[in-house]
Amino acid sequence: MKPLSSPLQQYWQTVVERLPEPLAEKSLSAQAKSVLTFSDFVQDSVIAHPEWLTELESQSPQADEWQHYAAWLQEALSNVSDEAGLMRELRLFRRRIMVRIAWAQTLALVTEESILQQLSHLAETLIVAARDWLYDACCREWGTPCNAQGEAQPLLILGMGKLGGGELNFSSDIDLIFAWPEHGCTQGGRRELDNAQFFTRMGQRLIKVLDQPTQDGFVYRVDMRLRPFGESGPLVLSFAALEDYYQEQGRDWERYAMVKARIMGDSEGVYANELRAMLRPFVFRRYIDFSVIQSLRNMKGMIAREVRRRGLTDNIKLGAGGIRELNLSFRCSSSFAVGANRRCSRALYCQRSASLPRCICFLKTMLNNCEWRICSCGVWKTCCKALTTNKPRRFLLMSLTVRGWRGRWTLLTGRN
């Protein structure tokens, strides 16, 4: 392991002054010193929870440990009896696992793709665990929602944007859409509730559990504006209502947003497959006409004008050749090609170039050329946000520029 650069050596002395007695400097490894100096987020976390550092030193993070997230969280929630306890355990679990991920990233213990994968799986694990706990609690309180045949109806959650694409970073918010399969009423409760009422109330409680700040922070900022009709629409819709909306009123930007949508949790269940099959004709059109191509030109023009207006030409996310442009190119090309080829729609976002059929030469070539840029831009952004998760979003965007990143890199390494 390389020694700390001169600027970081100076900063380390201020870090030592903050450390509690159990974390005396002489007991820290070189790896711990590097991580604590690099990341204020890790530093604040282990000062509040010294046992996490002991765990990290004895059990180093692994690339495949995301497979254990669900079991670890289930164990943490085993004794939770109320929503307050649920909120606390979810927040502590998220912070503990994010410390492990930041540790692994700082020490280059895992690949860049693994970092994005672990952050995305962590979010999915937390969302699904919160949903399942609240579903059981709501069923005990109001009865089980059922269809006309008496079959229990679940709440399905679509992860959109970076969550759906498996590219979540340390301070990303999560874009969600809630849906349930069929209309009906609750059974077994003190009084009967319509399924729409049941899932709306449950959805509101789920957002509160994930989004509401407490003394332990929050789990994720939840954005529900991508649902049909946006903020003015129902919080939760049935499959039939979703299908009617997208087939009759769905807009072009909603189609491209849906390219990266992913069902949280049991993605191979009966209802999940039904929802996926229902959305497919809207997301992946079999035929492309000139109106679709013109809508893409309009969207690209709007992005370019906004970048010029805000002076963000060298911004990693918003500038020319940045994350937004690459995402737009990918989503548009995917929606064109996948409409004629079913195999493409099931591949993960950052792995699609390897799974695309040979016949789609243009899309395969484009992704082979651009995939490293998509992943690299995402990792740059994730590295910047791993420094601290408490910075204002405006500061983070200012940091995500070529000049801003170069200055931070010089500070961290002592090299230009």
* C-alpha to C-alpha distance for 229 and 235, rounded to whole angstroms: 10
Output Rg (C-alpha) for the chain, integer angstroms.
Answer: 23
Q: Which residues contact 39 (CB under 8 A, 6 or more apart)?
A: 102, 106, 386, 387, 388
Report the sign of the C-alpha dihedral through residues 69, 75, 78, 79, in that order: negative
Torsion angle in degrees (nearest 10) through CA of 164, 202, 171, 103 = -90
pLDDT band for position 311 (cuts 50, 70, 90): confident
* C-alpha to C-alpha distance for 309 and 301, rounded to whole angstroms: 12
Q: Residue 359's pLDDT is what?
A: 36
List the structure tokens of 212: 């509401």
- State percent of the chain over pLDDT 70: 71
- Parallel/antiparallel/unpaired status of strands 185-187 and 236-238: unpaired
* C-alpha to C-alpha distance for 156 and 179, rounded to whole angstroms: 5
pLDDT, tens digit, for every residue of 132-188? 999 999 999 999 999 999 999 999 999 998 899 888 988 889 999 999 999 999 999
Q: Residue 356's pLDDT is what?
A: 41
> 30-39, 42-51, 278-287: which has the minimum mean pLDDT?
278-287
Under 8 Å between Cβ of 347 and 391: no
> 69-73, 115-119, 134-138: which has the minimum mean pLDDT?
115-119
Q: Residue 363's pLDDT is what?
A: 44
User: Rounded mean pLDDT of 195-219?
Assistant: 96
pLDDT, tens digit, for every residue of 47-69? 899 899 989 988 889 999 999 99
Q: Which residues contact 4 (CB under 8 A, 6 or more apart)?
A: 12, 33, 34, 37
pLDDT, tens digit, for every residue of 333-388? 665 555 555 555 444 334 444 444 443 444 444 444 444 444 444 454 555 545 55
Superfamily of domain 112-283: Beta Polymerase, domain 2 (3.30.460.10)
Q: Residue 100's pLDDT is what?
A: 96
pLDDT band for position 248 (cuts 50, 70, 90): very high
On average, the pLDDT of the chain sits at: 80
User: Rounded mean pLDDT of 115-137?
Assistant: 96
Under 8 Å between Cβ of 408 and 384: yes
Q: Residue 376's CB: how many other CB atoms inside 10 A?
A: 13
* C-alpha to C-alpha distance for 277 and 275, rounded to whole angstroms: 5
Q: Residue 26's CB: how many other CB atoms inside 10 A?
A: 4
Reported pTM: 0.81
DSSP 81-109: -SHHHHHHHHHHHHHHHHHHHHHHHHTT-
The secondary structure element, H or E, covering residue 208 is: helix 195-211
* C-alpha to C-alpha distance for 246 and 237, rounded to whole angstroms: 12
Going from N- to C-terminal start, the domains of the chain cover 112-283, 288-338
Q: Which residues pair with 368 in a beta bridge?
A: none
Residue 277's alpha-carbon distances to 185, 254, 270, in angstroms, are 25, 17, 11
